[in-house]
């Protein structure tokens, strides 16, 4: 059974996002059980220069000292994972260096918020003639400081023109964010509202239009 530092970072992220009440336990510096006081081995919890609130320490004789740590600063949360340090002090120091570096040289960038209209596209055979495309969650990117102007946005739609019916929340494409040649993130583009099939006259006009334009 093997786990990488990346695996532990993914698990830590899901813990923070999905189980906030349980995650709050990891910032406790001590607890008493059965009359015995136990101290948290995460030394960074005592570091006044960092806002560390977790996560987990560990030690394996074959590997060494391990630490997954997380801190929040200025609305940005970072996770640092170290596997294989030679001492408790070194694992804390290395994780502190990683977190400090991240907060100094990176920043959050939110180009679009949840349910903000990003694109509006034509709809045929529908009770409405267009549909708004949105992202179902805030687009949260972590980027090198000062690099916002270099971010490129690409759209990949399932169709050039959509045909009713369309369900609310139906995925209609993907929006992609790139920094230089690197893909930072991809988010689904979904329908803000449902578009029902149009009535007889509406559909007839669309069919006539398609016939004469050759788009059918």
pLDDT tens per residue across span 64-84 = 999 999 999 999 999 999 999
Which of residues 203 and 151 earns the better pLDDT score? 151
Secondary structure E strands in the chain: 30-33, 36-39, 52-60, 64-73, 76-85, 106-109, 119-124, 130-134, 141-144, 151-157, 162-163, 171-179, 182-191
Which residue in 209, 211, 154, 163 sits closest to 183, CA to CA? 154
Q: What is the mean pLDDT of the chain?
A: 92
Tokens representing residue 88 in the block: 């408790």
How many of the other CB atoms lie within 10 Å of CB of 156? 10
**pLDDT given at position 166:** 96
**pLDDT given at position 189:** 98
Cα separation, 100 vs 49, whole angstroms: 10
What string of DSSP letters covers 163-203? ES-B-TT-EEEEEEEEETTEEEEEEEEEESS-BPBP-HHHH
**Residue 138 predicted with pLDDT over 60:** yes
**pLDDT given at position 193:** 95
Which of residues 216 and 195 earns the better pLDDT score? 195
* Residue carrying the six token digits 């005592």: 46
**pLDDT given at position 88:** 96
**Residue 212 predicted with pLDDT over 60:** no
Evaluated on CA atoms 142, 143, 148, 152, the torsion sign reads negative
**pLDDT given at position 135:** 97
Q: How many Cα neighbours within 13 Å face the side chain of 70?
A: 23
pLDDT confidence band for 125 (50 / 70 / 90): confident
Tokens representing residue 156 in the block: 């990949």
Q: Structural domain boundaries of the chain?
A: 5-106, 119-213
Cα separation, 4 vs 179, whole angstroms: 26
pTM of the model: 0.78
**Residue 213 predicted with pLDDT over 90:** no
**pLDDT given at position 205:** 60
**pLDDT given at position 215:** 58
5-106 and 119-213 in the same fold: no
* Residue carrying the six token digits 């596209």: 121
**pLDDT given at position 160:** 86
User: What CATH number is given for 119-213 in this structure?
Assistant: 2.60.410.10
**Residue 204 predicted with pLDDT over 60:** no
Which residue in 9, 94, 83, 8 sits closest to 43, CA to CA? 94
Q: What is the pLDDT of residues 140-176, one digit of tens each?
A: 999 999 999 999 999 999 998 899 999 999 999 999 9
Report yes or no: 111 and 139 within 8 Å, Cβ to Cβ.
yes
CATH architecture of 5-106: 3-Layer(aba) Sandwich (3.40)
**pLDDT given at position 3:** 86
């Amino acid at each position: 059974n093997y786990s990488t530092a990346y695996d532990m970072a993914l698990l830590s992220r899901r813990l923070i996002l999905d189980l906030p009440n349980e995650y709050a336990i990891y910032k406790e510096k001590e607890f008493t059980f059965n009359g015995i006081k136990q101290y948290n081995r995460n030394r960074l919890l005592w570091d006044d220069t960092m806002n560390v609130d977790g996560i987990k320490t560990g030690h394996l004789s074959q590997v060494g000292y391990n630490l997954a740590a997380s801190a929040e600063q200025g609305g940005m949360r970072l996770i640092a994972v170290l596997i294989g340090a030679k001492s408790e002090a070194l694992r804390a120091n290395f994780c502190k260096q990683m977190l400090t570096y991240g907060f100094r040289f990176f920043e959050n960038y939110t180009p679009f918020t949840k349910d903000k209209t990003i694109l509006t596209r034509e709809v045929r055979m529908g009770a409405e003639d267009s549909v708004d495309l949105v992202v179902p969650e805030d687009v949260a990117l972590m980027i090198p400081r000062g690099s916002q102007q270099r971010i490129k946005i690409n759209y990949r739609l399932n169709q050039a023109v959509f045909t009713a019916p369309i369900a609310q929340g139906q995925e209609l494409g993907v929006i992609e964010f790139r920094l230089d040649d690197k893909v930072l993130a991809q988010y689904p583009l979904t329908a803000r509202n449902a578009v029902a099939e149009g009535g007889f006259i509406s559909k007839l006009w669309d069919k006539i239009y398609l016939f004469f334009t050759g788009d059918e």
